[in-house]
Amino acid sequence: MSDKVSRRQFAKIAGLSAAGMANPVGAVEVNPAPPPRTGTGFPAGFVWGTATSSYQVEGAVNEDGRGASIWDKFVRIPGKIEDGTTGDRANEHYHRYKEDIALIKELGCKAYRFSVAWPRVFPDGDGKPNPKGLDFYNRLVDELLKNGIEPWLTLYHWDLPQSLQDRFGGWRSTETCKIFGDYAAYVAEHLTDRVKNVFTLNESGRFVYFGYGIGIDAPGLTLPQAELNQIRHNSALAHGLAVQAVRAHGRHGTRVGPAENIDACAPAIDTPENVRAAEIALREMNGGYLNVIMTGQYTDAFLKFAGPNAPKYTDAELKIISSPVDFLGLNIYAPQNYVVASDQGAGFMPLPIPKSFPHMNSDWLRVGPETIYWVPKLAAKIWKTDAIYISENGTSGDDVVRPDGKIYDTDRIMYLRNYLAQLQRATSEGVPVRGYFLWSLMDNFEWVYGLNKRFGLYHVNFDTQVRTPKLSASFYRNVIATNAAGV
């Protein structure tokens, strides 16, 4: 997220900054009960992983037949990237993936979340596939499995083929949604013999609002609210088509679900009234994407708030969008809304967050560990899901390399310790969180920040491409080894 964006703007990512009362929530398919807990830590079988995305780490943007993405074009617009860098080289993960997988193994992680670069597999988005592009992901998956690491694949992490943007306006058109479904089918057919877990779209809330609403992400457009709501609807439709494609073309037992930067709401004070208000707020503030995916309906409050700007859709589209998922992926970094109960309107009131609220070295990244307790707890209740994964959580840091060559990132350890303690609190109460993916494995190209913001457990010297473990890598390794937050 960019510091250029206010918190009020971010609160509108889901398409709703004021909402009405909640409606009853329909049931969705659920998974078997979570595994039993052991001792005082996380449940037995809890999935510990880390994550990256294709454009942020792969580099090799002009190699082996890869086509251009909207980010390849966007990063060349003067002033769009804070430090003027691009993802052309990034971490050279395309060539150094074996080295990077060794780093994952050193952590003790049993899972790795990566994304497939759509233009690497289909240079124009559709048409003839590029066998060399698929070959890379075959090699990556095989190397992960060789090292005892389970691959978790994300179909879309923002690198839309530029050809689709040029021909159809990108996500402005349902043609892009249909083509995405075809791409998902191809990937599922060729990789799910080994990949058993697939995320569809990563953070629709961000790439829609930031890319098409305020223009600070690719493709850099500033469209009116009606078009923005339609694009968000189209992204939900693309998700549904991808779910159906994975079901139809994936191997038996393949699981699929979204990974969304949920608009995180928590009670300001833990009274029954405020907890209920937070539940209403979580549903309504996510009425433009997650709720329609999980229930097949836009809430009355969302439609009322959108008014003439509401998306146009058919019942058939809602049925596709709400295709049953196997899990819910939640990217949780910071609280967006602390709420209290209200007798007026929605039944909740978001509170202003003071300037003195503690945050990490990214201003938007407020330190609110209780968020990772309340959001999964309330989400499981609202959407009747029995399998939640924290698909991203982590923090940037100053990460100074000391004279001894080491990085003592105690700020990141503080953040992770407190968030993981709250997540452990949630699982101890039976909240069905099945796994956690730390963002990120290593420092990388951090979108509008370029190389200026470092989220990794491993420090990367982008001149030499040397990876150096930070102190937080040792912390996370201990968490995994003990299956406990270490509080």
Per-position DSSP letters for 71-140, written without gaps between them: HHHHTTSTTSSTTS--TTTTT-HHHHHHHHHHHHHHHT-SEEEEE--HHHHSTTSSSS--HHHHHHHHHH
Q: What is the bridge-based pairing of β-strands 466-469 and 458-461?
A: antiparallel
CA 22 to chain centre: 25
HEC string for 9-20:
HHHCCCCCCCCC
Tally of CB atoms within 10 A around 33: 9
Strand partners, 199: 154, 257
Element (H, E) at 348: strand 348-350
Residue 138 to residues 17, 59, 146, Cα–Cα distance (Å): 43, 17, 12
Element (H, E) at 330: strand 328-331
Which has the closest alpha carbon to 412: 454, 370, 445?
Answer: 454
CB of 85 closer than 8 Å to CB of 23: no
Identity of residue 61:
V
| Residues with catalytic roles | 203, 392
Element (H, E) at 322: none
CB of 125 closer than 8 Å to CB of 151: no
Phi, psi of 468 (to 5 degrees): -130, 125
Phi, psi of 311 (to 5 degrees): -65, 155
Residue 411 to residues 415, 450, 457, Cα–Cα distance (Å): 6, 21, 12
Q: What is the CA radius of gyration of the chain?
A: 21
Residue 303 three-state SS: helix
Which has the closest alpha carbon to 392: 214, 205, 247, 262?
Answer: 262
Which residues, at least 6 apart from 360, have a Cβ–Cβ distance to it below 8 Å?
367, 395, 396, 397, 411, 415
Q: What angle do CA 7, 330, 449 make, to 5 degrees?
A: 50
Tally of CB atoms within 10 A around 174: 16
Residue 330 to residues 68, 229, 371, 392, 463, Cα–Cα distance (Å): 29, 21, 12, 7, 33
